[in-house]
Structure 1
Amino acid sequence: MSTSTLKSELLSDQDRELIMATQAGLPLVSDPWTELGSQLGMPASEVLERFQKMQASGVIRRVAAVPNHYKLGYRFNGMTVWDVADDAIAELGERVGELPFVSHCYRRPRHLPYWSYNLFAMVHGTSGDEVEDKAGRIADVLGDACSGHTILYSSAILKKTGLRLRKQKDNG
């Protein structure tokens, strides 16, 4: 199956247009579905139905407000990195990801001998002590399956966006 065939099965042209039209957020109006429909030439009911189908299929996770954590006072951002036993990382990574204060959680490959960490969990706090406390709670979950960790603190935002789709080029 070609890449273009796979893409077309995952995302229709209309769905792609909806995603591109909302990448920076929904229109800030009382009825964003009607506004989007007007912009894209489809009824509001179809816009909403398409979003619901994309959510049900997992193409989009949710439609939600995304607060700016810096403006809320969460200025300490720590990517906690953990050296977790390979036979335990799947289960323990799920448990760490379920912690309410973990915003991102990933399994990543080790790069031995330079980098032994294979579990990454992002936490935010209003102080370094708060981030350290949250890291301690992650350590409690990981227990003896973890043989080391550190915290990589953000020092500056260079770019912060989600995934952005671009208009596809016609190959015809």
Structure 2
Amino acid sequence: MDDAELDRRIVLATQAGLPLSTTPFAALSEQMGVTSEKIISRFSAMQKDGRVRRIAAVPNHYALGFTANGMAVWDVDDELVDAFGRELGQLKCVTHCYRRPRHVPLWPYNLFAMVHGRDREEVLGHVAEIRSLLGDACRAHEVLFSTAILKKTGLRIDPDARPGQRARKD
């Protein structure tokens, strides 16, 4: 089988997650009949050309007791947003950090950080610490708390689809 077909099979086999094992690539190797070295090599190639962004564990923070989530939004100087984003992204309480376009005058915020805590007060405490870290560069901020848990999934490939085939209209 060529690399394109192998890549497709690897994505199909892992799009819902790697096998829960201390050796997930070995388990995948056994399942697919391909060496784990080849699978790792193909993942590396897909990462290098941008088809796969990253391979990482995604813990269920609710199951770990972190039930409060606040999207903290910040109005900071555009020249500083990338540096602040990198800094906020390193904080243990932040799982996602993004630069987003402003929609002035309705929405002046350009830096978004998902802040987690065991309750609202803990989230607000983290946000206050972040506010201090940003200092005078932060002109305004808000915290938008989650009200519902939505199922998060990435892109899923239809196992019956072939490259170049148009999507079905059901």
TM over 0.5: yes
Q: Does 1:109 align with 2:101?
A: yes
Say if 1:92 and 1:141, in contact at 8 Å, map to a contact too: no
Deviations 1:71-98 (A, max 9, x none): 1111100000011111221222221222
**Partners of 1:95 and 1:141 within 8 A in 2:** no
2:155 to 127, 145, 164: 164
Return the match for 1:24 from 16, 40, 61. 16
Matches within 5 A, 1:115-134: 115-134=107-126
What is the total number of aligned residue pairs between the two structures?
160
Query: Per-residue CA shift, 1:110-134, capped at 9, x if unaligned?
Result: 1111111110000110011110111
Q: Secondary structure at the match of 1:72?
A: coil
Q: Which whole-Å CA distance do the structure 1 matches of 2:79 and 2:73 have between them?
A: 17
Q: TM (normalized to structure 2)?
A: 0.80
Structure 1 gap ranges (5+): 1-10
Tell me how far apart the structure 1 counterparts of residues 32 and 71 of structure 2 sit (CA, whole Å). Answer: 39
Hey, what does 2:89 align to over in structure 1? 97
1:6 aligned partner:
none
Residues 165, 92 of structure 1: alpha-carbon distance in 2 compared, 3 angstrom cutoff:
same
User: Structure 2: which 5+ residue stretches go unaligned?
Assistant: 166-170
Moved more, 30-39 or 19-28: 30-39
Q: Answer whether contact 1:96 1:141 (CA < 8 A) is retained.
A: no
How far the C-alpha of 1:136 sits from its partner, in A, is: 1.1
Distance 1:124 1:95 in 2: 16
The 10-residue stretch of structure 1 (100-109 or 34-43) with the greater mean CA deviation from structure 2: 34-43
